[in-house]
Structures are given as C-alpha cells and as structure tokens.
Amino acid sequence: MQSADQAKADGAIAPEVAILARRVKRFRQARRLSLRQLGEISGTTASFLSQLERGATGATTSTLMRIANAMGISIADLFDDRPRSTHRVLRKAERPAWPEASGYRKTMLSQRPIQDFEVFIGEFEVGGSTGPEQYTHGDSHEMLLVIAGEVEVYLADEIHRMSEGDCIEYTSSTPHRTVNCGQTVAVVQWIISPPTASGAALEVFRAAQK
C-alpha cells in the first residue's frame, strides 16, 4: 500500500488513501460529529482527522480501530468503497440479538455498516425492563414506539405510561429506562439518529447472532 507521504511526493493520492479519507468523512458526517468531537471520542485530534480526511496523512491500525469503534463501524468498513444496495432485506430470524437479561430481549434491525440512523426492537416479559437504572448514550434524537402491550418510560424525573401505538421522542442524553408495566409481553421499537452505538457495543449483537 502506498503511503500518504509517497502519494504526496508523486502529486497524487493513492487509491487506498483516497478511499479511507472519503469513508472516514462520510461516516463522521452521517453521525453529525465534528472533527473535534470525533477526536475526543477516538483519542486523536481535530487537526489529525482533518489531514486524514484530506488524504494528507495515514494512520496506524490501532488508531484506525479507535476511530472506527468511535463511529460504530469496523476497520474493514473504512476501506470498503463498493456501492451498496439501498434495498437490504433482514429476515426476522436473522436479526442480531443482545444477550437476554431481566426478562428483556433486544434485537437490531439496522444492518452494518450503520449509516444515518439505528433501529432496535425490545421485547419485554411481564415485569421486564432495560435494567434497574436509567442510562444515557450520546446526544441523539431518539423515538420509542410501542408496538404491543404497555410500558412505562422513565425520562429523568418523568414517568410516561404508554400503550400500543403510542410513541415518545427525547434526546438519548436524557437518562431513560423502559419497563413492562402490563400483563402481557410488551414490544417497543427505538429509532435513533444519528447512531450512538460504539463498535464494541455492536459486536455484542454480532456475537449473539452466531
């Protein structure tokens, strides 16, 4: 692989470097991250990332792994510049799943590499919840839609009781928690834009699919 310095000396950017530069910028912008924000998350700097996106510098494998993880993708996604079909089918039986816990099962509908938004389905047994504590993740726009049953959605100091067909919007930086407060299985859908899951978090879903 031709280095960025070699390419600059030749007056051109090597194809591999150009693909990397284009992909890093595309994924960063899809997640609405500034160069400074991505630098803070990945342990790099805005100046370095700016050079990387211009093809003016390269990066070590470990640095690329940190950048990819910060954007919820794999390092391979940074070099895969093949056109992707916009019509990707995911069968229900093929959904990657989070390990079950607390009477709660979470599956992912978004296919990797995740682009502009991520979608998850949560299935709750009676009394099941997302966990004993409220949690946050990033600072994105999040919508919860109740597909079946009844749930209580805790948003900081607020509690919203919701039934089938109801939905609620909030920022993912607001502490939140979901509990099945009904007498039947409850099913909800989360839509989050831009994506907030890290590559490490998504790997849990991938592993559970095997």
Over the chain, what is the mean pLDDT? 87
Q: Tell me the pLDDT tens digit for each residue of 94-123.
A: 899 988 787 999 999 988 888 788 999 999
Q: Which residue has the tokens 């993912």?
A: 172
Domain shared by 36 and 98, yes or no: no
Same-domain status, 15 and 103: no
DSSP 209: H
Co-location of 177 and 118 in the same domain: yes
Query: 193, 116 in Cβ contact below 8 A?
Result: yes
26-47 pLDDT, tens digit each: 889 888 889 998 999 899 999 9
User: Which two three-digit tokens encode residue 84?
Assistant: 């992707």
Could you read off the pLDDT of 122-147 as tens digits, one per residue? 999 999 999 999 999 988 999 999 99
Domain count, the chain: 2
The answer to whether the CB of 107 falls within 8 A of the CB of 96 is yes
Among residues 47, 78, 109, the one where a domain terminates is 78
Q: Which amino acid is at 106?
A: K
Residue 86 lies in a domain: no
Where does the pLDDT of residue 154 fall: very low under 50, low under 70, confident under 90, or very high at 90 and above?
very high
Section 59-77 average pLDDT: 88
Are residues 116 and 179 both part of a single domain?
A: yes
Three-state SS at 153: strand
Q: Determine contact, residues 19/7, Cβ cutoff 8 Å.
A: no
Report whether pLDDT(84) > 70: no
Mean pLDDT (whole number) for 142-159: 98
174 closest CA partner among 125, 132, 136, 128: 136
Instruction: Report whether 105 contacts 185 (CB < 8 A).
Output: no
Q: Are residues 9 and 44 in the same domain?
A: yes
Q: Quick check: 147 and 164 in contact, CB under 8 A?
A: yes
Q: Return the CATH number at 16.
A: 1.10.260.40
H-helix or E-strand spanning residue 142:
strand 141-148
Which residues form the domain of 42?
Answer: 4-78
* CA dihedral sign of residues 40, 131, 191, 174: negative
Q: How confident is the model at residue 9 (pLDDT cuts 50, 70, 90)?
A: very low
